[in-house]
């Protein structure tokens, strides 16, 4: 079964950049990334169950199960070097998938962790247990989602199941103590992100035995919408070093 949105790319493209969406997000969020980086990279994005063309499939509300499912789909793509880019919940999913792939000697060459505190940093969060309006209010607070979509009752009914499933998954996630990957980790974060302090972002360093770098941008949780060029630059400058 197809699990990826793929941008056109040349056959001899050196690296596959696999993108992992945020909670409630979909593969189409990464269309601009594909447009900017193709054909230099083969840009793919995970389409989680419960949204867009997969909206009739049950959502997965457990990060471990989601990572297991995604890993199985990525293994056949490991015939060329891979890099992972995950935003928010996607950063954690990417980290867990990288851990599983390393057990098979199929590790990505670099993990870009965007808009998410380190896996070992736990905050008590309960919005996934609250009503629909509380959940929608949280999405509005973070920005990044078209407010017209959030105001339309029909569209709300379409997006709420995936939102609740994803928020349940990420808010109940607990990292295995001491879990690390060997791949370099490049962290990107906004300086006004209500879900990630700079110190929490810096603690990703504890989860890699490889190189680590931290990039702080002005903005909130979806800082990358306002700094697309700089984010693309960060990606392209770090992937070549990972190919050595």
What residues does 45 pair with on adjacent strands?
5, 19
**CB-based contacts of 177, cutoff 8 Å, min separation 6:** 120
Give the Cα-Cα-Cα angle 124, 180, 220 (nearest 5 degrees): 45
How many other CB atoms sit within 10 Å of the CB of residue 101? 22
Active site residue 88: yes
> Coil, strand, or helix at residue 119?
coil
Which DSSP symbol is given to 147?
Answer: H
Closest by alpha carbon to 99, among 7, 195, 176, 13?
A: 176
Measured between alpha carbons, how far is 196 from 189 in angstroms, rounded to an integer?
8
CB 230 within 8 A of CB 217: yes
**List 26, 28, 88, 162, catalytic entry:** 88
Q: Token digits for 99?
A: 């851990």
Rounded CA separation 209/228 (Å): 28
| Catalytic residue IDs | 88
């Amino acid at each position: 079964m197809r699990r990826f949105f793929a941008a056109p790319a040349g056959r001899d493209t050196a690296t596959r950049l696999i993108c992992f969406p945020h909670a409630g997000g979909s593969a189409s969020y990464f269309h601009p990334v594909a447009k900017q980086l193709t054909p230099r990279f083969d840009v793919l994005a995970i389409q989680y169950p419960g949204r867009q063309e997969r909206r009739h499939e049950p959502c997965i509300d457990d990060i471990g199960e989601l990572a297991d499912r995604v890993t199985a789909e990525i293994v056949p793509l490991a015939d060329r070097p891979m890099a992972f880019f995950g935003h928010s919940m996607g950063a954690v999913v990417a980290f867990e998938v990288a851990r599983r792939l390393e057990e098979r000697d199929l590790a990505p060459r670099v993990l870009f962790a965007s808009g998410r505190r380190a896996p070992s940093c736990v905050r008590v969060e309960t919005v996934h247990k609250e009503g629909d309006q509380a959940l929608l209010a949280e999405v509005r607070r973070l920005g990044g989602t078209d407010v017209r979509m959030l105001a339309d009752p029909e569209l709300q009914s379409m997006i709420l199941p995936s939102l609740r499933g994803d928020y349940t998954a990420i808010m109940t996630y607990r990292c295995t103590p001491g879990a690390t990957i060997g791949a370099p980790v490049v962290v990107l974060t906004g300086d006004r992100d209500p879900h990630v302090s700079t110190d929490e972002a810096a603690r990703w360093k504890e989860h890699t035995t490889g190189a680590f770098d931290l990039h702080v941008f002005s903005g909130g949780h979806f800082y990358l919408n306002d700094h697309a060029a700089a984010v693309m630059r960060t990606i392209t400058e770090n992937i070549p070093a990972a190919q050595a």
